[in-house]
Structure 1
Amino acid sequence: MSSLRRQLWQQTWPMAIGVLSLLGFQLVDSAFIARLGTQPLAAQSFTFPLSFLIIGVQVGLGIAIAALISRTLGAGDTARARRLGSLVLVGGSALMALLMLLMWAAQTPIFTLLGADAPTRDLIRAYWGPQLVANWLGAVLYFGYSLFRAHGDTRLPGKLMVLTSLLNLGLDPLLIFGVGDWSGWGLPGAAWATALAFAIGIWQLVARLRAHDWLARHGLRDELRASAVPFMAIAGPAMISQLMPPLSAMLATSIVAKLGETAVAAWGLASRLETLSLMVVLALTMSLPPWLGRCYGAGDWPRIDALMRLAARTAVIWQLGLGCIMALAAPWVAVALSGNPEIRDELATLIRWLLPSYSLLGLCMLVVSASNALGWPVRAMLLSFMRLFVCYLPCLAVGAWLSGIFGVAWGAALGNVLAGGLAWSIFRRSLTQRMAVNGET
């Protein structure tokens, strides 16, 4: 077990540092925008659900990339793994470009449905174009990360996440607030800072890819015909699973929007803080599936069982400890993130309730990620649906109806706890049955 723990640590810590830096700059990004005023921060917060939707598509494709290539490598077929690497990088980038165009064309009806008024939509329009460019560059970069992770290299993605985060942090104040006589670009400056940072990251990634024999130029057409169905069998349910959170975020934002602009701004900051606080879980969902995929390809189910127990223990202990500390420090964290007293009070309330509940949310995220890697993509999709639409949103809506922002906080927390407990019990039952079939229990 100590050897397994050491291997898990070696695979996860580079991604944890990378995720921390990436999510940290997003939180600081929102903190900079908060200095522009409540309305710009609310405008950015309205874009989060669509940004999460875009990220959901890219993560779904990335899950399929890592799962299929790692299984192929586990079976010893490196030539096919090279062909798959080339196909997913080109095809994924083209698909994401099409999605960005659709997001731009449909922005007005979507943001209107989310509850943004006309002045806020004007702010969003100036920001949304460069943000879509940044999202596309980020997706291309993520596909490159997935290729490295599938080959067991988590160090380079972690390093590039740190690099792009530092670049973004340096560019943010310059492009948002300007320097000297130049007053900067305001809210759109935050998006351009991210786009420039991601572009530099892609340049570095391409340079590193040239040093590896992981891509192929020949046999791609035949491979496309042979692999399209198995790839979509993973990517389809995985994308649906990943699209559920942004859909849920849209519905949650529309619920919170009824409580006022200040509540939306506080909810947006809490959403950024959520992803930052889940950095270890997110790192595990990136580093663990390729490892599980290689074990799956080799038929090593006892190792899969040991890995999942260790990862679940790590996630719950880390998140619960961090959540309790953040709950105690909620007033000071809120002051650091916002200069508006009303936003600070509502944000502190959200932090106190939500952060401890992420221990069970993280467990659910691990189960969904592992299920995709282990050949259960439909089950992963159903677990995501259960978490969001059976547990999370109903509890949040009832809480908001009963007691405003305080109800939103405890309702969302209760939904997270219910989802994590149910997901883990279902996963353990499925894994036990599979090992019994193989005679390994």
Structure 2
Amino acid sequence: MQANKTQNDLLSFPIGVTLKNMTIPMVMGMIALMSFNLIDTFFIGLLGTNELAAISFTFPVTFTVISLTIGLGIGTSACIAKTLGGGDNSEARDQGTSALLLSVVLVASLSSIGWLLITPIFTLLGSEQNTLPFILEYMQIWYFSSVFLVLPMIGNSILRASGDTKTPSTIMALGGAMNAILDPVLIFGLGPVPALGMTGAAIASLIAWMTGAAVMLYILSIKRQLIYLHLPEWKKLKNSVQKILKIALPAAGANMLTPLAMSILTAIVAGYGHEAVAAFGVGQRLESIGCIVVLALSMTLPPFISQNLGAGQVQRVIDGYKLCCRFVLLWQFVVYILLVISAPLIANAFASEGEVNQLIRVFIWIVPLGYGLQGIIILTNSSFNALHKPMIALQLSIMRLFLFYVPAAYIGGELYGIYGLFAGCVVGNCCMAMVSYFRFKKQGV
């Protein structure tokens, strides 16, 4: 198992250098992946406003399944990294193998339920006859393909736990590139390939994820030997699953609160018209790009924390957290300035209709102002999970979404319309960022 070198890097190299070396490859991979996802949204937007609104309606639901996977990945990474920090490579392989099996079973179960309830769920979210047929086309295939999405995502967590962020970034970029290439062919047709519309977009994702899953399983089992090709003994499997679920269930619950809150917020936005939903959906995808460094840090900081926790290096954990918080505040302010300057170009790229175009611009002028504060919230939650204190992270997530973020957005909308709703998102993040930072200082390691 090739973990010793990267393990020593996490435990002994200077903190800033270590996190930079881990984060830069993740940023590169995520830029590629998220850029391709924006291309996906761009091609769907060319089909029309109803199709763009339909894909916006799917975001909270698809993110529910993805959030479960993210939660499982958090538990996997925290357990394996701490085990590696303690020097037990064999148990780490047991945990990696068990994590993959557990994740496939849980995601397949959740997706099956979602597939059976497509119409009632999206009707509840506010979808109407002008968008529901397109949602059905997309989601019937997406739910099936989610089983293949879980394997590379959990595999990435295993690799990151060992200190390897270059391989996950490469696999993410590969999948995103394949999806971007297949999208225009399957959506609009080319040669003998018929135009499949929304169905084509879903099939493109399915093919990309199947390829990523095959590559990941080869790397983990053959090239890196981070998992076993056979099931662990029952006692080891049970022990690994229990350790992973102890962190994964609260983490998954916390992550699932986000799409739940987004579902509520989407339903609120739907009250301002389908143009507002379309603009809000574009804004949510732009947020992924705007916060890409924060998201990368939220994936690289936890293995650093968990390995140092396993090695008993507590001060190194505290120093790493504070360094990241200072950095994201400065970085996200720079990102905000760049987004404001680019707002007209971005809006013109995603929407030709005047009202949708204007709403995208306003979203960019207001909401990204709170991205740095949101970064502190994200890093604090991921740090508590890495410290094997997932219940604190869950408590903070509940507070953020249902005490600050959604209520502030709703109140802002009631007072000043859709513009006030956008401003409320910033206010909610500001309040929660302060709560999160001081909770970490008070709690300690």
> Structure 2-normalised TM-score?
0.94
1:182 is displaced (CA, Å) by: 5.1
Residue 134 of structure 2 corresponds to residue 123 of structure 1: yes
Match of 1:296 in 2: 309
1:226–1:3 CA distance, 2 compared to 1 (3 A): closer
Residue 396 of structure 2 corresponds to residue 403 of structure 1: no
1:229 is displaced (CA, Å) by: 3.2
- 1:261-320: CA deviation from partner (whole Å, max 9, x where unpaired): 100000110011111211111111111111110111111111001111111122111111
CA–CA distance in structure 1, aligned partners of residues 243 and 154 of structure 2: 18
Tell me the amino acid that sits aligned with residue 186 of structure 2.
L
Match of 1:13 in 2: 24
Tell me if structure 2 keeps the 8 A contact 1:357–1:416: yes
Tell me the amino acid that sits aligned with residue 227 of structure 2.
L
1:182-261 to structure 2, matched below 5 A, reads 183-209=194-220, 210-216=222-228, 217=230, 219-261=232-274
Among 54, 61, 64, the alignment partner of 1:43 is 54
* Segment drifting more, 9-18 vs 335-344: 335-344
Partner SS state of residue 118, structure 1: coil
CA–CA distance in structure 1, aligned partners of residues 261 and 83 of structure 2: 34
CA–CA distance in structure 2, aligned partners of residues 172 and 213 of structure 1: 34
Tell me the amino acid that sits aligned with residue 244 of structure 1.
L
Match of 1:333 in 2: 346
Residue 400 of structure 2 corresponds to residue 387 of structure 1: yes
Q: In the comparison of the two structures, how many residue pairs are matched?
A: 432
1:18-29 to structure 2, matched below 5 A, reads 18-29=29-40
Tell me if structure 2 keeps the 8 A contact 1:324–1:355: no
Among 262, 280, 285, the alignment partner of 1:267 is 280
Tell me if structure 1 keeps the 8 A contact 2:98–2:241: no
Residue 372 of structure 2 corresponds to residue 359 of structure 1: yes
CA–CA distance in structure 2, aligned partners of residues 233 and 202 of structure 1: 26
1:276-291 to structure 2, matched below 5 A, reads 276-291=289-304
1:237 is displaced (CA, Å) by: 0.8
CA–CA distance in structure 2, aligned partners of residues 224 and 387 of structure 1: 35
Among 374, 394, 397, the alignment partner of 2:387 is 374
Match of 1:134 in 2: 145
Match of 2:6 in 1: none
1:219–1:420 CA distance, 2 compared to 1 (3 A): same
1:51-70 to structure 2, matched below 5 A, reads 51-70=62-81
Tell me the amino acid that sits aligned with residue 126 of structure 1.
E
Partner SS state of residue 130, structure 2: helix
1:66 is displaced (CA, Å) by: 0.3
- 1:346-393: CA deviation from partner (whole Å, max 9, x where unpaired): 011111111121010011000000100012110000111111111100
Match of 2:334 in 1: 321
Among 84, 88, 93, the alignment partner of 1:73 is 84
CA–CA distance in structure 1, aligned partners of residues 130 and 337 of structure 2: 39
- 1:23-48: CA deviation from partner (whole Å, max 9, x where unpaired): 11111211111111100111111110
Partner SS state of residue 329, structure 1: helix
Tell me if structure 2 keeps the 8 A contact 1:39–1:120: yes
Tell me the amino acid that sits aligned with residue 58 of structure 2.
T
Tell me the amino acid that sits aligned with residue 214 of structure 1.
L
1:168–1:218 CA distance, 2 compared to 1 (3 A): closer
Which runs of 5 or more residues in structure 1 are unaligned?
435-441
1:230 is displaced (CA, Å) by: 2.8
Q: Could you tell me the percent identity over the aligned residues?
A: 35
Tell me if structure 2 keeps the 8 A contact 1:322–1:356: no
> Structure 1-normalised TM-score?
0.95
Match of 1:32 in 2: 43
CA–CA distance in structure 1, aligned partners of residues 87 and 72 of structure 2: 23
